[in-house]
Structure 1
Amino acid sequence: MPDFTLPTASLEAAIPVFYRYGLHDAPDAVLATALHTSEPDLTAQFPSRELLVHHAILADMERQKREHVALYAQYPSAVERLYGLLQLGLRDLAAVPSNYYVDLQTGFPQTWDAVMNHLSSYSGPQLQQLLNDGIRSRLFRSDINIQLVTKILIEQLNVMLNPQVFPPDRYNMREVFRSIFLYYIRGICTDEGARIAAEHFARL
């Protein structure tokens, strides 16, 4: 295993390069520039593309976690935090090229397993915990099916980003976001939660 001298946080800068050129085809010279290093040093630290992709994606996962910590510090209620998480997830998903995850799954199976593990061990439980917190604080209805609602929220993000369902040249994506999530989340809210949701969406 090489001795990684690049800061973990800096490795996430490789992700936009992979989005632009592809996981296999991204030039080493462009990656080295994005990571503020030289090609020889990059190759020395990451002798294979598989190793670089793996650690870049792990770093990007840590970036997501840092953003979530900042989000939670900004918003005190479970309702606002849920909207914030959905917006961050939507922003990240919107940047991903259509063939990216297929290439990741077929060409980098170890990293794909890490992504799936992140979803199952972090993202899913995070949403479930947030829903639980909202129920305890009487912002979400106590009779909701937490696992099912979590699945629905994730799938709604995917539907929103499907250009065959919502062509971006025909739909204002901010309005699509409001129409999908404002009404659904209001439906799982108590009266107090719905009030907070309406106030938060008014600021979007």
Structure 2
Amino acid sequence: MPDFTLSPASLEAAIPVFYQQGLHTASDAVLAQALHTSEADLTARFPSRELLVHHTVLADMERQKREHVELYAQYFSAVERLYGLLQLGLRDLAAVPGQFYVDLQTGFPKTWEAVLEHLSSYSAPQLQQLLNDGIRSRLFRSDINIQLVTKILIEQLNLLLNPQVFPPDRYNMREVFRSIFLYYIRGICTDEGARIAAEHFARL
């Protein structure tokens, strides 16, 4: 049994390599160098590419969670926090080659399933809590259906990631993200919330 002792922070270094060279075609030599280990140790710890990709993507999810904790310490209103989450999402999407998600879905189904599970068990409750907080503070409209709005936001993300709907060679994914999410978020804000949103969204 391999010894998975590489820390999540260490495994995160493999993400840029997979972005640049591909999930299937990234060389063990470059991955080992990025992870500050030897090829022999890398293959001993992760005897298959599937296993390495899986643990690397899980590590990247943990990185996102840490950034969200830092974000929540910086922003206090629900609108600002939602804006911050969108900013982080935009930044991450801008770094991801379009082929990455295609390869992940088709070549690494277990890892893609983990991504979807992350959306349902982490992202969805996070959004629901933000919507609840925003309604209580009168920044989001009180007549919105929280579960439905959350579902719409998650499905909009799935839509964005569908290369058959938005082929990455034809669409700027940053602009697609903006068009799908930002205008929708404005629509669920109260006047007070919209003023806060406008201040932050204008920077995008």
Residues 52-71 of structure 1 aligned to structure 2 (within 5 Å): 52-71=52-71
Sequence identity, in percent? 81
Q: Note closer, same or farther for the CA distance 1:181–1:48 as it changes in structure 2 (3 Å cut).
A: closer
Residue 152 of structure 1, CA deviation: 3.6
Residues 173-192 of structure 1 aligned to structure 2 (within 5 Å): 177=178, 181-192=181-192
TM-score by length of 1: 0.85
Q: Which of 44-53 and 143-152 deviates more?
A: 143-152
The equivalent residue for 1:77 is 77
The one-letter amino acid of 2:3's match is D
The equivalent residue for 2:91 is 91
Counterpart CA distance in 2 for 1:98 and 1:203 is: 25
Which ranges of structure 1 fall in alignment gaps of 5 or more residues? none
Residues 36-185 of structure 1 aligned to structure 2 (within 5 Å): 36-154=36-154, 159=160, 162=166, 167-168=171-172, 177=178, 181-185=181-185
Residue 166 of structure 1, CA deviation: 7.5
Counterpart CA distance in 1 for 2:112 and 2:150 is: 21
Counterpart CA distance in 1 for 2:106 and 2:175 is: 33
Residue 155 of structure 1, CA deviation: 5.1
Q: Which of 158-167 and 80-89 deviates more?
A: 158-167
Counterpart CA distance in 1 for 2:66 and 2:88 is: 12
What do the CA deviations read for 1:44-65 (whole angstroms, capped 9, x no partner)? Answer: 1111111111110110000000
Residue 74 of structure 1, CA deviation: 0.6
The equivalent residue for 1:20 is 20
The equivalent residue for 2:197 is 197
Q: What's the secondary structure of 1:31's corresponding residue?
A: helix
Counterpart CA distance in 2 for 1:189 and 1:43 is: 50
TM-score by length of 2: 0.85
What do the CA deviations read for 1:111-130 (whole angstroms, capped 9, x no partner)? Answer: 12211111111111211111
What do the CA deviations read for 1:79-120 (whole angstroms, capped 9, x no partner)? Answer: 000011112112212322222223222222221221111111
Counterpart CA distance in 2 for 1:5 and 1:92 is: 26
Residue 24 of structure 1, CA deviation: 1.3
Q: Which of 56-65 and 85-94 deviates more?
A: 85-94
Q: Which of 87-96 and 66-75 deviates more?
A: 87-96
Q: Conserved in 2, the CA contact under 8 Å of 1:50 and 1:108?
A: yes
Q: Conserved in 2, the CA contact under 8 Å of 1:159 and 1:165?
A: no
What do the CA deviations read for 1:131-168 (whole angstroms, capped 9, x no partner)? Answer: 11111111111101223322443455555994679844
Counterpart CA distance in 2 for 1:51 and 1:87 is: 30
Q: Conserved in 2, the CA contact under 8 Å of 1:182 and 1:197?
A: no
Counterpart CA distance in 2 for 1:59 and 1:176 is: 24
Counterpart CA distance in 2 for 1:22 and 1:175 is: 23
Residue 202 of structure 1, CA deviation: 4.5
Q: What's the secondary structure of 1:2's corresponding residue?
A: coil
Q: Note closer, same or farther for the CA distance 1:102–1:200 as it changes in structure 2 (3 Å cut).
A: closer
Q: Conserved in 1, the CA contact under 8 Å of 2:139 and 2:190?
A: yes
